[in-house]
Chain A
Amino acid sequence: MQTHIAKRVEIVIEAPLERRLTDALTAAGVTGYTVLPVLGGSGRSGQWSRDGQVGRAGMVSVVCLIKPERLDGLLDAIFAVVKKHIGVVSVTDAHVLRAERF
Chain B
Amino acid sequence: MTEILSLAGANLISPIILSFALGLLAALARSDLTIPEAVAKGMSIYLLFSIGFKGGVAVSAHGIDQTLVLALIAGLVLSFVLPLLAFGLLRVMTGLSAIDAAAVAAHYGSISIVTFVAATSVLNGRMISSEGYMVAVAAVMEAPAILSALWLVARSGSGEARMDPGLIRELLLNGSIVLLVGAFFIGAITGEKGFAEISAFIEAPFKGVLCLFLLDMGLIAGRGLRQSRGVLGMGAVGFAIAMPLVSAMIGLGIGALIGLSLGGVVLMMVLCASASYIAVPAAMRVALPEANPAVYLTLSLGVTFPFNLTLGIPLYLAIAQAVTGA
Interface: B323 (CB within 8 A)? no
Interface: B60 (CB within 8 A)? no
Q: Which residues of A contact B (CB under 8 A)?
A: 14-17, 19-20, 45-47, 49-57, 84-86
Docked-complex contact B40 and A49, CB < 8 angstroms: no
Docked-complex contact B216 and A84, CB < 8 angstroms: no
Which of under 10, 10 to 19, 20 to 34, or 35 or more describes the interface residues of B?
20 to 34
Complex partner residue of B223 from A16, A20, A49, A54, CB under 8 angstroms: A49
Docked-complex contact B285 and A50, CB < 8 angstroms: no
Q: How far is the CB of A64 from chain B (nearest CB, A)?
A: 21
CA distance A15 to B41 in the complex (A): 15
Task: Tell me the dominant secondary structure on chain A's binding face.
Answer: loop
Docked-complex contact B278 and A54, CB < 8 angstroms: yes
Complex partner residue of A51 from B37, B176, B277, B279, CB under 8 angstroms: B37
Smallest Cβ-Cβ distance to B164: which chain A residue? A20
Hey, which chain B residues are within 8 Å of A84, CB to CB? 162, 289-290
Q: How far is the CB of A81 from chain B (nearest CB, A)?
A: 10
Complex partner residue of A53 from B37, B289, B290, CB under 8 angstroms: B37
Hey, which chain B residues are within 8 Å of A53, CB to CB? 37, 40, 220
Docked-complex contact B283 and A16, CB < 8 angstroms: yes
Hey, which chain B residues are within 8 Å of A16, CB to CB? 282-283, 285-286
Smallest Cβ-Cβ distance to B32: which chain A residue? A51
Q: How far is the CB of B78 from chain A (nearest CB, A)?
A: 22
Task: Tell me the dominant secondary structure on chain B's binding face.
Answer: helix
Q: How far is the CB of B46 from chain A (nearest CB, A)?
A: 12
Residues A19 and B166 in contact in the complex (CB < 8 Å), given A57-B281, A57-B282: yes
Interface: B210 (CB within 8 A)? no
Tell me the residues in window 267-301 of chain B with beta carbons closer than 8 Å to chain A beta carbons: 277-279, 281-283, 285-286, 289-290, 293-294
Q: How far is the CB of A77 from chain B (nearest CB, A)?
A: 16
Smallest Cβ-Cβ distance to A84: which chain B residue? B289
Docked-complex contact A17 and B279, CB < 8 angstroms: no
Docked-complex contact A54 and B44, CB < 8 angstroms: yes
Complex partner residue of B282 from A45, A49, A56, CB under 8 angstroms: A56
CA distance A45 to B36 in the complex (A): 23
Hey, which chain A residues are within 8 Å of B176, CB to CB? 55
Hey, which chain B residues are within 8 Å of A55, CB to CB? 176, 277-279, 281-282
Docked-complex contact B286 and A20, CB < 8 angstroms: yes
Interface: B219 (CB within 8 A)? yes
Complex partner residue of A47 from B36, B227, B279, B283, CB under 8 angstroms: B227
Interface: B258 (CB within 8 A)? no
Hey, which chain A residues are within 8 Å of B162, CB to CB? 84
CA distance A38 to B285 in the complex (A): 18
Q: How far is the CB of B22 from chain A (nearest CB, A)?
A: 13
Docked-complex contact A17 and B34, CB < 8 angstroms: no
Docked-complex contact A52 and B40, CB < 8 angstroms: yes
Closest 4 CB pairs of A and B: A55-B278, A51-B34, A84-B289, A16-B282
Q: How far is the CB of A37 from chain B (nearest CB, A)?
A: 8
Interface: B246 (CB within 8 A)? no
Given A53-B220, A55-B278, A86-B289, 13 more pairs with CB closer than 8 A: A15-B282, A20-B286, A45-B293, A46-B227, A49-B223, A51-B36, A51-B219, A52-B37, A53-B37, A54-B40, A54-B278, A84-B162, A84-B289
CA distance A51 to B215 in the complex (A): 12
Interface: B35 (CB within 8 A)? yes
Cross-chain pairs A/B with CB under 8 angstroms, 24 sampled: A14-B285, A16-B282, A16-B286, A46-B227, A50-B37, A51-B34, A51-B35, A51-B37, A51-B40, A51-B219, A52-B36, A52-B40, A53-B40, A53-B220, A54-B40, A54-B44, A55-B176, A55-B279, A55-B281, A55-B282, A57-B281, A57-B282, A84-B162, A84-B290
